[in-house]
Chains A and B, each alone.
Chain A
């Protein structure tokens, strides 16, 4: 595989990763607003983790492929994994209940842990391809509009998360089992 192809594959991987994380975060909104499942503090911290993971991929798309950007992804994925594992451990013993509804038999915090581990494994493999860091002229103009669209989408999702957290908890600590919004969004 030549250098240009490797770089193109890496760019497409980064774009798909941002898109995938955006879909995960939007799924959270669907459960929150259409199924009326309010996110708990740990759920919100997992959303923060996914937002931070996507940041590393966005840095790669905007500033070029660098190991430091993949390091952002890895650090954030480890953080998200820890938070998800903490929530799994709260409910793993039979009789301790669960939080939220299940998707394909697994709860969202379990999926969150699986996605974090997958992010760590896939990112480690991708960052290990040394040739992507070699200088080469690659025509980015064909990707630019997609990168800007991804930035716009992700900025809106992050801002929407901030507004929804403010509506749910305000500026103070979120309740462990939220039952309603303290500020009205509509």
Chain B
């Protein structure tokens, strides 16, 4: 899962480098969202409390 986030980040960097601002923004959003989802998954699967 985290490998996918890094690959999207690399794609985002490449798009920004080549001058594609909006696609780069989109891929940034996707990678941040995936990072947040993965962090939320980590927290909910490790905390022994009821949220």
Taking beta carbons and an 8 Å cutoff, which residues of A are in contact with B? Answer: 41-42, 44-45, 48-49, 51-52, 55, 58-59, 62-63, 68, 72, 75-76, 79, 82-83, 86, 148, 151, 154-155, 158-159, 161-162, 165-166, 169-174
Contacting pair A55 B3 (CB below 8 A): no
Q: How many A-B residue pairs have CB under 8 A?
A: 91
Q: Which residues of the partner chain B approach A79 to less than 8 Å between Cβ atoms? A: 32, 35-36, 39
Interface of chain B, main secondary structure: helix
Contacting pair B6 A51 (CB below 8 A): yes
Contacting pair B3 A62 (CB below 8 A): no
Q: Contacts A51-B9, A158-B9 known; list 8 others, CB within 8 Å.
A: A52-B9, A52-B31, A55-B16, A58-B17, A62-B17, A151-B17, A155-B13, A159-B10
Checking A86, A154, A159, A169 against B2 with a beta-carbon cut-off of 8 angstroms, the contacting residue is: A169
